[in-house]
Amino acid sequence: MTKQVQQLDRVIIRFAGDSGDGMQLTGDRFTAGTAEFGNDLSTLPNFPAEIRAPAGTLPGVSSFQLHFADHDILTPGDAPNVLVAMNPAALKANLGDLPRGADIIVNTDEFTKRNLQKVGYETNPLEDDSLAEWRVHAVALTSLTVKALEGFDLSKKDAERSKNMFALGLLSWLYHRPTEHTISFLQQKFAKKPEIAKANIAAFQAGWNYGETTESFSVSYEVKPAKLAPGVYRNISGNQALAYGLIAASVQAKLPLFLGSYPITPASDILHELSRHKRFGIRTFQAEDEIAGVGAALGAAFGGALGVTTTSGPGVALKAETVGLAVTTELPLIIVDVQRAGPSTGMPTKTEQTDLLMAMFGRNGESPVPIVAPMSPSDCFDAAIEAARIAVKYRTPVMLLSDGYLANGSEPWRLPEVADLPDISQEFTTEPNGEDGAFLPYRRDADTLARPWAIPGTAGLEHRIGGIEKADGTGNISYDPGNHDRMVRLRAAKIDGIDVPDLAVDDPDGDAKVLVIGWGSTYGPIAAAVRRIRKDGGKVAQAHLRHLNPLPANTGEILKRYDKVLLPEINLGQLALLLRARFLVDIISYNRVRGLPFKAEELAGVIQDVIDSD
């Protein structure tokens, strides 16, 4: 059968089903094929916190959204063009996001009376015309998979588990995705279970063949590769990029990397990834709790390593005392906070930006720390190197604020040239620095105010360490009020004096009246919304803060340059609070805490309202 091939410039697909249906794996494999093909892409995994949520229920729905295009894109897309729904719960949970006329590929085998009742369907939506506004493709994914695997020594239940691979094969045919990468992946994943590998490959190929032969799909679609800058690319998630950035920082700093960490969603993948790279001298320690993890990392920093600890919001709260210890001992330490929805346990698999004020002030006493926030999954690599640069150069703990959206999302990343990576190495102190031949552990560098970093055991450089206030210069225990005032101000001045790049503004014509500013993962949705406004003839400027403490020196001047400043945040206005207090600028806040990233269309409407307002 000869089928028509239609050209598209972009597509947004969402795979949805039970958390045990393999939707994350399916989405990941489709993404890998898309990256191999050369499209620009952005992903949004969305899954329950439970390891195995109740089957067939709305809380148990897991989804994976992929936006891919033949041009540069910035977000996973606002609304899917295609929904693959593996059961009634997946259909009901996601139908509200689907624009009229979108495609729905639905697994009819799961639309049983019992499954319909679980999610409140009184009648079968596939039979009552309630889906008339969408293009529905009814496919018996489960039974077709079982039929395709009849020749394998598998139980019916085991055969049914491969239905996600059948769906992946069908979608791969529909959008002309490469198949070799998925087949190779399945062979490697199930290398110790060759029968399972062959069955999954057979299901995948059966899905492809079904698309090729069925009359249900008369058109397939092609999205040409994107025109990206020359270089070697790979698909990468935020957590992977952050882990690789820490490894690169270790090499560029000429320091061994030590990670002390306790597993916590959504930061655990950093621990998992770093544990695979012992050949780079990486040491990973899975501690018994959050406090032990950060304590071990700080101890490693005292011993001359690049100390790192990874966590999410609840873990940051537990680590606060040790971070304060790092402030007063003035040792380099990187605290990675992959933010999630709170408070308390909150929604562990959902994203937020609600830890900024905790990063700024969540310790006792005057204990300022630098804060760096990546803006995209691939930018996590550069942000990790920047955090290490600051930590090592200024002898300070640094907070690196990622979030669940960045951590789990992925995009193409152009591998940097090793020669282009910055040299962030610093020399250890090896000789006494006092006039009388003594070692003064708190005699500061005139430019950076950093104290010397001496490896324990270095002859003649023995010095006291601990949490009690130190005497300026000697580091001896001191309860003198004047000394305490001086040391507090010196530590604050050191942070205030950190060299960070000026804030850049994207204002093409230089005559915009409205500035949209953001931080962290809001970059993509804000930039996409700004593109929409400009495409329609509107004038708007955009700026994005990567360094949140200290702020770029020109931040105040830029904020006061515009008549109106809009700041979208996935919190209730934490950065807005800081900017208002610091620069006395009337920031217009736009805040949502739904556990999801902003949509570009949503922000475009907000920006237009601000432009149109008096």
Q: Nearest 5°: phi and psi at 541?
A: -105, 155
Place of tokens 């069925």: 214
Q: What is the pLDDT of residue 450?
A: 98
Give the fold, CATH level 3, of 505-612.
Rossmann fold (3.40.50)
Query: Distances in Å between the alpha carbon of 136 and those of 95, 104, 184, 227?
Result: 12, 5, 32, 33
Of the options 3.40.50.720, 3.40.50.970, 3.40.30.10, 3.40.630.30, the CATH number for the domain spanning 234-420: 3.40.50.970
**Amino acid identity, residue 344?**
S
How much is the pTM?
0.96
Query: Distances in Å between the alpha carbon of 150 and those of 30, 154, 195, 204, 503?
Result: 25, 8, 13, 14, 62
What digits encode the pLDDT tens for the residues 442-463? 999 999 999 999 999 999 999 9
**Distance between start and end Cα atoms, the chain:** 60
525 closest CA partner among 462, 434, 598, 474? 598
What's the distance, CA 585 to chain centroid?
A: 30
What digits encode the pLDDT tens for the residues 325-361? 999 999 999 999 999 999 999 999 999 999 999 999 9
What ranges make up the beta strands (E) of 443-551?
505-506, 514-519, 541-545, 547-549
Q: Nearest 5°: phi and psi at 501?
A: -65, 155
What digits encode the pLDDT tens for the residues 274-317? 999 999 999 999 999 999 999 999 999 999 999 999 999 999 99
Number of residues written out for the chain: 614
240 Cβ contact list (under 8 Å, min separation 6): 269, 273
Write down the domain spans for the chain: 4-223, 234-420, 427-499, 505-612
Q: Is 155 exposed, middle or buried (0-12, 13-18, 19+ CB in 10 A)?
A: exposed
Q: Nearest 5°: phi and psi at 365?
A: 75, 180
Place of tokens 């009552």: 128
Q: Nearest 5°: phi and psi at 330?
A: 55, 60
CATH architecture of structural domain 4-223: 3-Layer(aba) Sandwich (3.40)
233 Cβ contact list (under 8 Å, min separation 6): 35, 412, 413, 414, 415
Give, as one character, the DSSP assignment of residue 473.
Answer: B
Residue ranges in the chain whose pLDDT is less than 50: none
Query: In this structure, are residues 505 and 515 in contact, taking their beta carbons and an 8 Å threshold?
Result: yes
The Cα 402–Cα 419 span in angstroms is 26
Residue 398: how many other CB atoms lie within 10 Å: 27
The encoded tokens of residue 530 equal: 């700004």
The encoded tokens of residue 328 equal: 């007063």
Partners of 569 in the beta sheet?
A: 591
Q: What is the pLDDT of residue 614?
A: 73
Give, as one character, the DSSP assignment of residue 310.
Answer: E
The Cα 208–Cα 179 span in angstroms is 9
Give, as one character, the DSSP assignment of residue 235.
Answer: E
Cis geometry, peptide bond prior to residue 343 (ω within 30 degrees of 0): yes
* Helices assigned H by DSSP within 455-588: 481-496, 523-535, 555-561, 574-583
Q: What is the pLDDT of residue 50?
A: 87
The Cα 526–Cα 371 span in angstroms is 21
Q: What is the pLDDT of residue 1?
A: 62
The Cα 203–Cα 511 span in angstroms is 57
Same CATH fold assignment for domains 234-420 and 505-612? yes
Strands 61-69 and 10-18, sheet pairing? antiparallel
Q: What is the pLDDT of residue 329?
A: 97
